[in-house]
Amino acid sequence: MRNRQSIFAYTLLAVFLLGGVAYMLAPYLTEKTPPARQVDVPETASPEPITKEGEVVFLRDGKKIVKIDVEIAENDAERNKGLMYRPYIPDSTGMLFIFPEARELGFWMKNTQIPLDIMYVDAGKKIISIQKHTKPFSEESLPSNGTAQYVVEVNAGFSDRNDIKPGDVISF
């Protein structure tokens, strides 16, 4: 009888010890994946839908398809904020992102309230891919699928309405 009580006590002690070790190691055993791009951006809405800083003309075979007014994001802070916190932008406007060099890019829709078409453009100003009808507030990375130096963001459906596709060229 005493032997049986000793075995039970040792088993109970072993269970508590293993449980304690597992509890202490749990935070180190879970995988943590950082988001594609972490940004510290103040959570304030932009008072203007778009501040016109330039124009982008979309071309096919040297002929104008359509022209839009754009706000230009050419430094890290402007590129990181993008179109976040804006409740709308007019159909004939967008944002042009200019990067210092061409590379694989990926954008996300965190804190972006409106669906967009995201056009990735190479160093020669040719559209290489379009992410259409992006999902507002999504933290999924939307890749360029090639080397891009410029990105044009417009309202969702803009590229379909204007028949803009990869291979077309932009001018600004």
Establish if 49 belongs to a structural domain: no
Write out the chain in H/E/C secondary structure.
Answer: CHHHHHHHHHHHHHHHHHHHHHHHHHHHHCCCCCCCCCCCCCCCCCCCCCCCCEEEEEEECCEEEEEEEEEEECCHHHHHHCCCCCCCCCCCEEEEEEEEEEEEEEECCCCCCCCEEEEEECCCCEEEEEECCCCCCCCCCEEEEEEEEEEEEEECCHHHHCCCCECEEEEC
* Higher-confidence position of 128 and 48: 128
pLDDT at position 157 is: 98
Establish if 21 belongs to a structural domain: no
Establish if 9 belongs to a structural domain: no
* Higher-confidence position of 134 and 22: 134
| Over residues 26-45, mean pLDDT | 49
Domains in the chain, number = 1
| Over residues 29-50, mean pLDDT | 51
Establish if 75 belongs to a structural domain: yes
User: Is 38 a residue whose pLDDT tops 80?
Assistant: no
C-alpha separations of 20 from 45, 58, 120, 139, 158 in Å: 48, 63, 51, 36, 57
Which are the contacts of 37, defined by CB distance < 8 A and separation ≥ 6? Answer: 80, 106, 107, 108, 141
pLDDT at position 119 is: 99
| Least confident stretch, 1-5, 135-139, 160-164 | 1-5
Establish if 73 belongs to a structural domain: yes
Establish if 30 belongs to a structural domain: no
- What pLDDT, in 10s, does the model give residues 108-161? 999 999 999 999 999 999 999 999 999 999 999 999 999 999 999 999 999 999
Domain membership of residue 120 as a residue range = 54-171
| Over residues 62-77, mean pLDDT | 97
Establish if 13 belongs to a structural domain: no
| Over residues 36-59, mean pLDDT | 69
* Higher-confidence position of 38 and 146: 146
Looking at residue 68, which CATH number applies to its domain? 2.60.120.1140
Establish if 160 belongs to a structural domain: yes
**pTM, two decimal places:** 0.73
